Amino acid sequence: MDEVIFVDKPKGMTSFGVVSRLRRILTEKMREEYTKRGETAPKRLKVGHTGTLDPFATGLLIVLVGKATKKCERYLKMNKEYIAKIKLGETSTTGDPEGFVQKIYTGRPISGEKIKNVVQSFQGKIQQTVPSFSAVKIDGERAYKLARRGEKVEMPTREVEVFQIEILKYEWPILEIRAKVSSGTYIRTLGEDIGKKLGTGAYLTELRRTKIGEFDVKDARELSEFGIFS
């Protein structure tokens, strides 16, 4: 029961939800195996993940089981790759579809050349402000909990690195990009910052994590393989 599981997280489920469902299934399996051997099973099986994906996001989630949870830091520090769809001309209070969306740009569609120049300007080391709807702790409490209560706090700024960013498709107002980034990079913030620099505003409509380090979502397992259905 000490293993690393690569899961393709479905849309609409939290990372914690994935872990709790897997913990239940794996705990039952563990107890069955101990019973077969005539032994007493541990009361609780340790299960955790190595990097949160927002509920609207999909893709690679690494789940650690048993003694493998001690490897958490190793996976957390790995670089990531994402594919994101960004809607230009509108903003969201959360930077994604779950927030209050507001149209702020009524001008002409932005040219592909300008889009390309702005997107490429984010390649390299950049400064990001951590989004208020995030799991970062502020004075011991998760930022998203403070944000949901309407409390305004000053969010920290950090340096991250965008190793590679490319446009996969652009058809106003939807921009699709692939970004290879350092650990700790917020793609929601990247999307919003692109919109700010274009002067149109923007938010993410879709997000998929395709790689963590050398691990690819193509090798991940669907939750249905464990008998879990959202």
Q: Which residues are catalytic?
A: 54
Q: How far apart are CA 114 and CA 81, in angstroms?
A: 24
Q: How far apart are CA 178 and CA 164, in angstroms?
A: 8
Identify residue 103 by its one-letter amino acid code. K
What the block records as the tokens of 120 is 């490429």
What the block records as the tokens of 139 is 């004075």
DSSP string over 12-27? T--HHHHHHHHHHHHH
Q: How far apart are CA 65 and CA 82, in angstroms?
A: 25
Crossing angle (nearest 10°) for helices 187-198 and 112-120: 130
